[in-house]
A and B are shown apart, each in its own frame.
Chain A
């Protein structure tokens, strides 16, 4: 008797194996389809309208043609920067606590709460900030940035925690054994030692909030010009896309496609750029 698969059982097993592999492969490739279709569609619809004016001019009124979304891009820049100023230190502090001091029960509860915050729908965050800030000082950059910062918080916190935990404990002990207090070990050795990884987490959080619309509707609100004060409503790309798309005026709809393309491009490059930087950095470290 040889070792060939001859019996019916053997052949059946082989057939099932091939079928299962085929199904898994097929579904895996299907997973790429939505991304390709969405980005392809936006590219086709938007590319014709992404011109110089789009980046430099303010929106024209309904019914007029021309103009751009310069105010929305500036607004998104302002909102995301302010959200980072609040959300990154806050999230980092939380992540550092969870990684470096988070042994006990309090920390487990905090970790769980942070995870829950990740799954709170962003529109709820918007309503929360509306009640907390907008009812007192009105629609403003402050309110918009606060909403985005709250959405960034759990992402930054958990990525910081995960990345700090990758540092071997022996590095902490080396720092302590040198006679450094724990906070100096954290701030001067651990954080700089994993800065690359931490920045990746920040970038992914930025990419996540740069496209948020719902929380900004209740907080930053939006307008048709450059905001000159942080306590006034401020435009943003996602909200402007939303408003233009539902306006019904053909030229505004056309511009909202362009806005969508720019936004997707921005988020894509944030993701892609961060990952390639990290890849190059890792490769350099392995080589040297």
Chain B
């Protein structure tokens, strides 16, 4: 059962572990459609672990596990019969370090997800690849070199290629884990611009350790500390008028 009203993403009492280590502690959170939500907090506070629970990637780490409920469009991705492969088609992810597939061309990098999901008609694939590359503002730079290796691009271009690869399978939710922390300022600005455009079509949850970035691009911001969600509010409210003392100390640079 999917509903097109109500939150697109609901997290209920989520706990995540690495063996005995309790990395994410009882987090509750709701994300509305077409919102951009930033996650901030000092490094090691569990931001990556948290978003990796939202597409069931956390469980791929040996010894890692989690409990709680995560509803995407009303359906619990941790339900008994939920298939992680299906979940991940709905929740795309862009990683901290650009990670194009080695040995594949620019075109193939974007097309692979489509092909392996069963879309093989050449004209359709070509069309979606172009659409994705345009959406990630890479088309003009690579349209004449679609067959060169994805790894031959610059870091910023590679990251946009990874975004295009994610967009191609059209997930309604996209997770980003510090997508600009390995990029130069110009590439960073491009990615930020893209995120703001993308929210017409998708919902974005983005981890950033850059508070200016969070305030520039996100509608809401969540502050994490030592595995707990300390505060979650409209971005402007959180930065100008934090309710939690720890949030205030963090955003004013007193720790972290």
Contact = CB atoms under 8 A, between A and B. Distances in A.
A14 interface: no
Interface residues of B, number: 32
Contact of B169 (A173, A178, A192, A194): A178
Given A175-B101, A179-B169, A170 B95 contact: yes
Contacts of A277: none
A152 to B, nearest CB: 24
Contacts of B57: 173, 176-177
B169 A288 contact: no
A179 B166 CA distance: 10
B217 interface: no
Nearest to A189: B101
Interface in B84-104: 85-90, 92-93, 95, 97, 99-104
Interface stretch (B20-28, B69-77, B145-153, B234-242): B145-153
A34 interface: no
A288 B55 CA distance: 34
Nearest to A174: B99
B95 A173 contact: yes
Contacts of A10: none
Given A177-B55, A179-B88, A288-B149, A171 B113 contact: no
A115 B195 CA distance: 50
A193 B117 contact: no
A193 B60 contact: no
Nearest to B151: A285
B186 interface: no
* Size category, A interface: 20 to 34
B165 interface: yes
A194 B116 contact: no
Interface in B113-149: 113, 116-117, 148-149
Contacts of A180: 85, 113, 116
Interface string A267-288: 0000000000000000001001
Contacts of A167: 102
A171 B152 contact: no
Contacts of B95: 170, 173-174, 177
Interface string B14-47: 0000000000000000000000000000000000
Contacts of A13: none
Contacts of A193: 101-104
A103 B62 contact: yes
Nearest to A285: B149
A15 interface: no
A181 interface: yes
A177 B48 CA distance: 14
Interface of A: 103, 167-168, 170-181, 184, 188-189, 192-195, 285, 288
Interface of B: 55, 57, 60, 62, 85-90, 92-93, 95, 97, 99-104, 112-113, 116-117, 148-149, 151-152, 162, 165-166, 169
Chain A to chain B: the 10 pairs with minimum beta-carbon distance, closest first: A179-B89, A193-B102, A177-B93, A179-B88, A170-B99, A178-B113, A193-B103, A174-B99, A288-B152, A103-B62
